[in-house]
Amino acid sequence: MIYYFGDFEKVYDMILSWRHKYSQKGNNVNIKNFLIFLMLVLTACEGGKRDHVIAKIPEASGICYDKSSKTLFAVSDRGTVYELSLDGKKIRKKHIGNFDTEGIACDNKNNRLLVISEGVDNIMILNKKNLTIEKKINIKRSFKGQKILQKDKEYGIEGVTIDNKGYIYICNQSHHKYPHPDPSVIIIIKDLSKSKTKILSIIDPRKKDIAGLDFYNGYLFMVSDTNDRLYRYNFKEKRIDAKAKLPKFAQEGVAFDDYDNIYFADDNGRILKYSANDLL
């Protein structure tokens, strides 16, 4: 059982006050009943803090929603892929290799999964039926003569998503704004037919530490772990036009389903579910 002591201080003071009050009146406080009452209160506090957690995945680093199966696919940075029901039940689990897997996208049009590996900066195509790797594609590190992706042990490509036209968006997690040699930008690629693919374009969100992406309703949504923010990027206006404050946790991935729910991969080992209406 996990306790959140910031909330319990008030509860503890309230219980002591209650016990003192009734003792002064000459009432014998039954210790057994008192402890049962205390456990109920602590459990209620814990539930209030954790009711958005639907699954536990060690070092969860990415998540996506599959429209055909109506399920979620999540990845840990230990190289393991999970399929989950929308209420968090684990359907499948497979270790695909010793990769620092940091993001996953559901390519619904081609009925496959796209997984990115940090450090080597490549994208892997996974067979959705058996979760095996069909192909690895390296991403060229430069764009218009400038190196965008650096070999970095701490940061690198972190989140991935795909739009309705097949363009793939990958965020380069960084604390440096563009045009730094290792900037916080979103790169756009498309061609996965060869062993290496080039960066077609970049999006400069003017935000640092972008860790997760999802294309939803014509917008690009992104999360920042540093700022605890969910941002919405407007393609027509070429800027972030909306943002929402998130509860404090280690946001590593974001996904929307077809039922106005939003899911987050938490690097602390959890998958969280919220109503999108409550956050946006």
What is the band of 182 on the pLDDT scale with cuts at 50, 70, 90? Answer: confident
79 and 94 in contact (C-beta within 8 Å)? no
Question: Three-state DSSP class for 254?
Answer: strand
Q: Report the range of poorest mean pLDDT among 27-31, 67-71, 171-175, 187-191.
A: 27-31
Higher pLDDT, 187 or 8: 187
- By DSSP bridging, strand 157-162 and strand 168-172 are antiparallel
Q: Report the range of poorest mean pLDDT among 40-49, 63-72, 234-243.
A: 40-49
Token pair for 188: 């756009």
| Phi, psi at 47, each rounded to 5° | -65, -35
Token pair for 46: 């814990």
96 and 62 in contact (C-beta within 8 Å)? no
Percent of the chain topping pLDDT 90: 63
Residue 159's identity, in one-letter code, is G
Cis peptide before 179 (omega within 30 of 0): yes
Q: Chain centroid to CA 33: how far?
A: 42
Q: Of 211, 236, 237, 234, which is closest to residue 224 (Cα–Cα)?
A: 211
Q: Of 251, 254, 278, 245, which is closest to residue 267 (Cα–Cα)?
A: 251
129 and 166 in contact (C-beta within 8 Å)? no
Q: Is the pLDDT of residue 236 over 70?
A: yes
Q: Of 4-13, 32-41, 100-109, 177-186, which one has max mean pLDDT?
A: 100-109
- Return the number of other C-beta atoms located less than 10 Å from residue 229's C-beta: 18
Supply the pLDDT for residue 45: 47
Instruction: Give the mean pLDDT of the chain.
Output: 85
Model confidence over 118-130: pLDDT tens digits? 878 899 999 999 9
- CA-to-CA distance for 80 and 75, rounded, in angstroms? 6
Q: Is the pLDDT of residue 61 over 60?
A: yes
